Every structure is written in C-alpha cells, then in structure tokens.
Chain A
Amino acid sequence: MRPVIRLARKRAALAAAAPLALVLALAGCSPQDDSTSSDSPSSPAAGSSASATTAEACPSGALPTHSGGTLTIGTDNPAYDPWFSDNKPSNGKGYESAVAYAVAKQLGYAAGQVTWKTVPFNSAFAPGAKDFDFDINQVSINADRKKTVDFSPGYYDVRQAVVARKGSRIAGAHSIADLKNAKLGAQIGTTSLDTITDVVKPSKQPAAFQRNDLAVAALKNGQVDGIVVDLPTAFYITGAEVQDAKVVGQFAAAGGAPEQFGLVLDKGSRLTACVSKAVTALRTDGTLAALEKQWLSDAVNAPLLS
C-alpha cells in the first residue's frame, strides 16, 4: 500500500501542476505592448514613444507607418458608389478613393506606395493594434467615438436625405411631420439611423439593416416606405439602382454643426497629427472642393424637410 500512496501523491502533484504550467506557458507569450502600432518602423522618429508628433516631424514619405515605406489604408468591402467605383478602392475613382490618394500624396506617398486593406466597419474601432494607417469609410465624427479612436478633421460635410419609391405615401413629404407614420429604414451604425430615431422619431420602429444594399432591396420590395442615407448615396441610388425612386428631401444639420466624415486612426496613433495636417491643407487649397465637384456633383441640393 505504501508505494502506491507515494505514487498517487506524485501524480496528484503533477496533475495540480499541469494547469499552472499551461497558464505560465501562456504568460510566457504575453501580449506585446501596443504603444507602437508599426511592425517595421522605418522612420528616424521610430524610437520615440511620444504619440504627439509635432508639426515639423512629418518627414515626407518616411512616416512611422504600419509597414515601412508604404501607406496602408483601410475601407470596407463592398466599397459603395459614389464613394468608390466598381468596388476597387485602388483605382482612384470615387470621392473617398480620390481623397485617400490626395492625402497620401500630401504625406509624400505616391500612388504605388499605397496598400488597401479590407477593414469591416466594426473592426475599424476595435481596441488593439490596427493593421491600417488610416481608415476611410464614411465614418462620421462624434464625441463618443473620439474616446475610442483618433479622427482627422472632416473631409466631407454630410447631409442626410430620405429616398422613397415614387408611388409611396411619403414621396410627396415636405416636412418631418409627414414622415411620422412611415416605416423608415437605414444601415446600422450610420448617422442615417440616428437621424431617424432622433430627428424623425417615427411611430413605427425603424428597420435597421446590416448593409446598405439590403436596405435598398427592402425599399424595392416595399418592406419599408423609405430609407435614409447620406445625400450623395441618395442620388446614386435614385440614379443607378432604383429607377422609380426619388430623393424626397434632405434634413437640416442637427444642432447647427454640420456632420462630417473623418479619417479613422488608432487611438494615440503617431500619424494623427500628420494626417490631420494633410486633410486641413487639402481643404485650404481647395483640393477637397474640387474632388467633391468631380465625384459628387450629382448631389445637388434636394428640398429641405422642415
């Protein structure tokens, strides 16, 4: 009996040690500090851990990017018109694609040094190291979101609009009150959906779609009376996707301040200052206005919903 007991004791000690050993092994591969989000720092400033880059420290074409020597830009797939064209962000067509290349040029990266990466909307603001330098995906800037990510200054002033089929009961709406009893839909995560819940406050629960194309399908099927999208998208839908639809009207900017799309960067990214500077410069020298005219000129004014 004795030796058996001794053996059992040994085994118990081993068994008790097993989970500990596993955990310690895990601890061995502890996560790396994510204070820097660059794998292969290529810049002279790489050694500095300061996240606030001064205005002078934006060496043209040699920023501490995600992968040295190239600029990695994220956007969702599908990338919708008129922001992109043919779902190919790299072709430089569409307003956001053009803006992305203009920003890259401003930072000293030629078109050949730009890599595009598919970044779903929801992972653009996930904590943890980002695998892009900035994300351009019609992301509206708001105070809550600023707690989680860095934004560049706005590169586009957004207005929300209602699209409905010509035969629907809200096709002739002139005021927000006319939309009260309609079944409206919008994409989840967009300010369009917020516009329905906060501005229109309809009596029926708004339909929330995962993607814009599903919202358009529901509009075609008559499952919703109207959908709310940003104005350029609204004109694209009525022009190319749903022939018998019209832009019913647009909403005034809520609270006076215009809503803006901004480039998304990792919280505390070392590129924020440089990218922000680039966007501001593009706005000042009229590049943004010219690109808007080139790619979004269809989005002329729609009647304002009082």
Chain B
Amino acid sequence: MTVRDDPAPPDLYRPSARRIERERYRRARTRRAGLVAAGSTLATAAVLVALVVNSPGWSRTRETFFNWHYAKKSLPDVLHGLWLNVQLMVVCGAVVLVAGLLVAVVRTLRGPVFFPLRALATAYVDFFRGLPLIICLLAVVFGVPALRLSGVTNDPVLLGGFALCLTYTAYVAEVFRAGIETVHPSQRAAARSLGLSSAQTMRYVVLPQAVRRVVPPLLNDLVSLQKDTGLVSIGGAVDAVAAAQIVASRSFNYTPYVVAGVIFVALTIPMTRLTDWVTARMNRRQSQGGVV
C-alpha cells in the first residue's frame, strides 16, 4: 500500500442515529437469545437430573453402574486390554485404507480387458459388505485353524485382525468409489486433453479430489473399526471390553463397562478433531485464492 500524505477527508463517516439504534437493538436481541438458551438448558438439565436421581431404583443403579471401588479395581485391566484395541486399530486401519483404495480403483478401471478384475472386486465387496462381522470373525478365527494348514498362524489376534480387514476393506472401498464417482467427468476430460495418461489422471486429478470429499465418512468407518476391534475377543484374546466383562461378571457390578465405554469415547474425540483439522487444511489449500 502507498502512504497518502493528503489530509484526512473532511466527510468522516458517522453512523446515523437510526443505525446506532438498530445495532443496540441487535446486541440486546443477541444477549437475550443467549440468556434464554442458557435458562432453557439449565431447566432441562435440572428436570432430567431430578428425574434420574429421584427414580426409585437410582441408589441401586448408582451402586451397580457408578461404583468407585470397582472403577478403580478394573481400570488397570481395562487399560491393559485397550492396548490390544489400539494396536489392532492402527494396523488394521492402515491396511484397510490402502486395500480399500486399491479395490475402489480396480472397480473404477475402464476398458474391457479389466472386466475379470472388476468382477472380482465387485463380488468381494458385495460378499463381505453383507456378511455379518461376527460370522466373518468366527469363520476366520475358528475355521482357518481347523483346516490345519502348515505355516498358517492360529493366533486369534492375527486371525481376528485379518477378518476385520476383510470386512472393513469392503466398506472403505465403497466409500472411496463413491468419492471417485463424484469427481465431475470434465475434470477427467480436461486432464486427458492436457496429455495426462489414464493413470496420471487418476493419480493427480481424480484421487486427490475424491479422497478429500470422503474424509468424514472414512472417519466414521475408522471409528466404527476402533469399536469393532473388541469383537476379536471372540477368539479368546482379552481386549478392553472383555477385561471389563471379566471384572463385571466376577463381581456382578457393571461399573467396569462404564469405565471402558468412557475410555473409548475419549479415544474417538481427538481422532475426530484431528481429521477436522486435516480437512480444513486441505480446503485451505484447495481455495488458495480465498473463499468466494
């Protein structure tokens, strides 16, 4: 900017009386809206709390679900089990993202020569998306060792992780495919007319846009995966939920479940914030000219 050295313009803007009045009125409205919202929230909360605390079974419910003694007793076991959930989630999450993207790309390949590949990928997705996860886990965790194949592990954690990957890859492949198909054909046409090959078009033009669009549903699937890692305990491995169940069924007290639940929720919140931040950063880069 250049500095002007002419005197300040004589006609300084002064808001009219009407404008001042209008702004004052708007401020008052905003303040009032805030107060009304706070009041209504407080009243609702008060009634809910009164309803729960005054219910005839509250003392017993509190004893069964919010018992400090059992919370402390179960926390080390639950955390120990949680390590298994976290490991499974990180490894399976990485495998699922890569494999899902591959399957989605295979499903969107053009050209008649790729028909068998496309058919295979479609059949795989159709089957494993429809197969209940618990049945997939049972079949893999208890079925594969029953085959007595030499060199194949019978570790329930590895097998359970494999079953999780099978199911979730199918989910994630569909999410990616939806993203790929939302990219407007003109983008592809423009890229091809600039001389990019089919693969380059996919890599530099289509996929970056597709992935950015499906980050929220992908996160849904990852959070879902994180919670479903607990199902691997069907093979006997002790995860956070199973650890809570062991303490709970020994003492007939449900507090350990509450502890495990709170920990799981606490795990997903940072993940959500992180992906929100990543998405925002992607959007900033995309609209470098500023948002219109």
Contacts and interface: CB of A to CB of B under 8 A. Distances in A.
Contacts of B43: 20
A220 B143 CA distance: 11
B208 interface: no
A144 interface: yes
B142 A214 contact: yes
Contact of B249 (A23, A121, A223): A121
Interface in B147-187: 154-156
Contacts of A223: 145, 154-156, 235-236
A18 B140 CA distance: 51
A210 B246 contact: no
Given A23-B48, A30-B51, A189 B249 contact: yes
B50 to A, nearest CB: 8
Interface string B227-253: 000000111111000100110111111
B233 A16 contact: no
Interface in A1-53: 12, 15-16, 19-20, 23-24, 26-27, 30-35
Contacts of A31: 55-57
Identify the interface centre among A33, A122, A127: most chain B CB within 10 Å of its CB. Answer: A127
Given A127-B60, A221-B142, A221-B154, A26 B249 contact: no
B246 A148 contact: no
A20 B261 CA distance: 29
A202 to B, nearest CB: 13
Nearest to B146: A221
B280 interface: no
B44 interface: yes
A16 B39 contact: yes
Nearest to B43: A20
B120 interface: no
Contacts of A267: 60
A34 B273 CA distance: 43
Nearest to B138: A214
B40 interface: yes
Contacts of B33: 12
Nearest to B153: A223
A121 B245 CA distance: 11
A149 B236 contact: no
Q: Chain A: interface residue count, which band?
A: 35 or more
Contact of A224 (B39, B146, B236, B254): B236
Contacts of B155: 223
A200 interface: no
A193 B246 contact: yes
Contacts of B123: none
A226 interface: no
Interface in A205-255: 205-210, 214-215, 217-218, 220-224
B268 interface: no
A142 B250 CA distance: 9
Interface string B54-96: 0111001101110000000000000000000000000000000
A20 B44 contact: yes
Nearest to A33: B56
Given A16-B40, A148-B64, A222-B154, A122 B238 contact: no
A205 B238 contact: yes
Nearest to B39: A16
B40 A20 contact: yes
Q: Chain B: interface residue count, which band?
A: 35 or more
Contact of A218 (B51, B142, B238, B245): B142
Given A127-B64, A148-B252, A189-B249, A218 B48 contact: no
Nearest to A268: B60
A188 B249 contact: yes
B233 A210 contact: yes
B282 interface: no
B55 A30 contact: yes
Contacts of B36: 12, 16
Nearest to A27: B51
B57 A34 contact: yes
Contact of B44 (A23, A207, A215): A23
A209 B236 contact: yes
Contacts of B235: 207, 214, 218, 223
B47 interface: yes
B51 A23 contact: yes
A258 interface: no
Contact of A19 (B44, B61, B242): B44
Contact of A208 (B47, B48, B65, B233): B233
Contacts of B238: 205-208
Interface string A184-201: 010011100110000000
Interface string A161-174: 00000000000000
B253 A148 contact: yes
A220 B254 CA distance: 33
Interface of A: 12, 15-16, 19-20, 23-24, 26-27, 30-35, 121-122, 125-128, 142, 144-145, 147-149, 185, 188-190, 193-194, 205-210, 214-215, 217-218, 220-224, 267
Q: Which 7 A-B pairs have the closest CB atoms?
A: A207-B236, A189-B249, A221-B145, A148-B252, A125-B252, A144-B251, A16-B40
Given A30-B55, A128-B57, 6 more contacts: A27-B51, A35-B56, A145-B251, A147-B253, A188-B245, A208-B236
11 contacts: A23-B48, A31-B55, A189-B249, A206-B238, A218-B235, A222-B145, A223-B154, A223-B156, A223-B235, A223-B236, A267-B60
